């Protein structure tokens, strides 16, 4: 539906979001859902994406998202490709475009690629005819708001802009719950009269449903840096427990026991201490590498090395997983049929960006294994990720059919579905000796072993019949 058909309706505020991705779509759907008094329009340069947001086949999978979008769409939530018009009409503009790792030139492989973000800033500058609050929703290097301000004020038409930082902390897979009940909402602003006024306006939007004590404010730079630091700390916990999982495998200790004992210390806490095949997703590696690049550019090499090691351990963990498969399966995978249970980077999403499954699949293909990939939501993305190298890959949604005739299963994504399968039936359908490599430690390893499987968890002694 065209949002501009609704001009006869009076809304308290016109909110625009530029970028209809994993962040822009769900966050704006939540604002529209909670604030009927605002008109929320989401625009994107990608017409296909906008068409999907306007259809029953949303471009992303998130539990609960379809219901929220359906209820608000056409009422006070609109999707459009008319970016310029959207900019003209809005008083408040969220910028939620992608900021991937640069793949070329200076900082390639480390720095954030700010081209999409800068294009947006220039477009806002060109089209705006009235004062606006511009909100950085994308994750950006600290002090990017300054560059945004400089671009915006380069305009001769003297339109006033306030730039705020409002990083998004949602996690894919739980985005709707995270948006509805956030641990905190962070808003950074200039501490000028105008900056504080703009900040208060954004606080009022969130206060429609978020308790005031969870809406925290700071200066702009602290807000920008908090997002990078938060992702670095989260990823660091995963790399910390994964590094210990390697030692557990050498010493017959169990990572679950160690994690439990460590996590019961209230100073450490028990969340986010599950050993696994490694973290993925579009953010953790990208944001840490961005942090590392920033530290190096300020000459803080020791700090950069410290955070870079978090990414290095993650790469090591993925390599180790494939190497363990090779060693266990008699040092050759040639012609062996291996089933990957899961391709998404985590459960409850179809997103495969930076998924460990991509690395694992590529390595197994290099070793000339035959792959069968199963996933309830990510098979379309898996096909795209392996495009050109998948002549020996099949994609099968039913995990029973996928595993039949395989030598091994590797559990790569922690979908609940894989906890409750009839593994007796699966075992009977597989080639013997049958192997299971549990990259998420979600299966009942003892039970699988008793059925006849050779079981290789992460960070625990293997259970084999040899």
Hey, which residues are catalytic here?
283
Phi, psi of 233 (to 5 degrees): -65, -40
Q: Is residue 290 near ligand NAD by the rule CB under 6 A?
A: no
Residue 3 or 399 with smaller CB distance to ligand NAD: 3
> Residue 108's CB: how many other CB atoms inside 10 A?
11
Query: Which one of residues 15, 22, 274, 304 is an interface residue with ligand NAD (CB under 6 A)?
Result: 22
Positions in 102-121 near ligand NAD (CB under 6 A): 116, 119-120
Q: What angle do CA 180, 24, 126 make, to 5 degrees?
A: 135
Q: Is residue 356 near ligand NAD by the rule CB under 6 A?
A: no
Q: Is residue 291 near ligand NAD by the rule CB under 6 A?
A: no
Least distance (Å) between residue 49 CB and ligand NAD: 5
Least distance (Å) between residue 371 CB and ligand NAD: 26
- 141 in Cβ contact with 112 (< 8 Å): yes
Least distance (Å) between residue 349 CB and ligand NAD: 9
Q: Mask 197-236, x = binds ligand NAD (CB under 6 A)?
A: ----------------------------------------
Residue nearest ligand NAD, Cβ-based: 21
CA distance 456 to 434: 11
Binding-site residue total for ligand NAD (CB under 6 A)?
26
Q: Is residue 172 near ligand NAD by the rule CB under 6 A?
A: yes
Least distance (Å) between residue 99 CB and ligand NAD: 4
Question: Is the link from the previous residue into 69 a cis peptide, with omega within 30 of 0?
Answer: no
Query: Which one of residues 28, 114, 145, 170 is an interface residue with ligand NAD (CB under 6 A)?
Result: 170
Q: Mask 258-287, x = binds ligand NAD (CB under 6 A)?
A: ------------------------xx----
Query: Which one of residues 41, 76, 139, 220 is an interface residue with ligand NAD (CB under 6 A)?
Result: 139
CA distance 371 to 392: 6
Residue 245 or 276 with smaller CB distance to ligand NAD: 276
Least distance (Å) between residue 417 CB and ligand NAD: 22
The structure tokens listed for 63 are: 């539990």
Least distance (Å) between residue 459 CB and ligand NAD: 26
Least distance (Å) between residue 309 CB and ligand NAD: 22
In the sheet with 454-457, reading across from the earlier edge strand, the strands are 393-395, 370-374, 337-341, 408-411, 435-438, 454-457
CA distance 194 to 74: 33
Query: Which one of residues 49, 132, 318, 377 is an interface residue with ligand NAD (CB under 6 A)?
Result: 49
The structure tokens listed for 110 are: 């480390």
Residue 207 or 230 with smaller CB distance to ligand NAD: 230
Least distance (Å) between residue 197 CB and ligand NAD: 26
Instruction: Please report where in the chains the tokens 């308790």 appear, as a residue.
Output: 211
Query: Which one of residues 41, 76, 80, 96 is an interface residue with ligand NAD (CB under 6 A)?
Result: 96
Pick the piece of the chain touching ligand NAD (CB under 6 A) from 40-48, 158-166, 262-270, 387-395. Answer: 40-48
Query: Which one of residues 24, 86, 182, 356 is an interface residue with ligand NAD (CB under 6 A)?
Result: 24
Residue 115 or 332 with smaller CB distance to ligand NAD: 115
Q: Is residue 23 near ligand NAD by the rule CB under 6 A?
A: yes
Residue 20 or 378 with smaller CB distance to ligand NAD: 20
Residue 234 or 443 with smaller CB distance to ligand NAD: 234
Residues that bind ligand NAD (CB under 6 A): 18-24, 44-46, 49, 83, 96-99, 116, 119-120, 138-139, 168, 170, 172, 282-283
């Amino acid at each position: 539906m065209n949002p501009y058909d609704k001009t006869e309706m009076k809304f308290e505020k016109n909110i625009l979001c530029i970028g209809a991705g994993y962040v822009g779509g769900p966050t704006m759907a939540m604002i529209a859902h909670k604030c009927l008094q605002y008109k929320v329009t989401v625009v994107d340069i990608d017409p296909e994406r906008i068409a999907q947001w306007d259809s029953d086949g949303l471009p992303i999978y998130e539990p609960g998202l379809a219901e929220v979008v359906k209820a608000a769409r056409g009422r006070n939530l609109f999707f459009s490709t008319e970016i310029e018009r959207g900019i003209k009409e809005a008083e408040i503009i969220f910028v939620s475009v992608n900021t991937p790792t640069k793949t070329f030139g200076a900082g390639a492989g480390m720095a954030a690629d700010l081209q999409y973000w800068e294009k947006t800033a220039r477009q806002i500058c060109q089209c705006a005819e009235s004062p606006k609050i511009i909100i950085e929703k994308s994750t950006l290097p600290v002090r990017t708001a300054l560059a945004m301000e400089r671009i915006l004020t380069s305009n001769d038409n003297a339109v006033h802009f306030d730039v705020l930082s409002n990083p998004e902390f949602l996690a894919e897979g739980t985005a709707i719950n995270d948006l509805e009940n956030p641990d905190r909402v962070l808003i950074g602003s200039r501490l000028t009269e105008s900056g504080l006024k703009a900040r208060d306006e954004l606080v009022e939007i969130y206060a429609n449903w978020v308790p005031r004590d969870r809406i925290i404010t700071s200066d702009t730079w602290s807000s920008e840096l908090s997002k990078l630091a938060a992702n670095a700390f989260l990823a660091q916990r995963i790399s910390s427990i994964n590094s210990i999982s390697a030692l557990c495998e050498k010493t017959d200790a169990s990572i679950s026991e160690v994690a439990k004992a460590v996590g019961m210390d209230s100073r450490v806490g028990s969340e986010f201490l599950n050993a696994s095949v490694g973290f993925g997703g579009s953010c953790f590696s990208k944001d840490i590498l961005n942090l590392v690049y920033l530290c190096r550019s300020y000459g803080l090499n020791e700090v950069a090395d410290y955070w870079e090691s978090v990414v290095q351990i993650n790469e090591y963990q993925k390599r180790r997983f494939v190497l363990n498969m090779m060693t266990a399966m008699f040092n050759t995978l040639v012609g062996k049929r291996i089933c990957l249970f899961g391709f998404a980077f985590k459960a409850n999403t179809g997103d495969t960006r930076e998924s460990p499954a991509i690395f694992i699949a590529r390595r197994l293909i290099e070793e000339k294994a035959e792959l069968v990939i199963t996933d309830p939501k990510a098979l379309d993305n898996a096909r795209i990720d392996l495009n050109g190298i998948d002549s020996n890959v099949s994609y099968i949604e039913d995990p029973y059919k996928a595993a039949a005739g395989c030598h091994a299963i590797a559990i790569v994504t922690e979908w609940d579905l894989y906890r409750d399968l009839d593994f007796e039936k699966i075992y009977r359908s597989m080639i013997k000796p049958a192997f299971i490599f549990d990259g998420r430690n979600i299966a009942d390893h003892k039970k699988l072993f008793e059925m006849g499987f050779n079981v290789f968890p992460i960070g625990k002694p293997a259970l084999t019949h040899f």
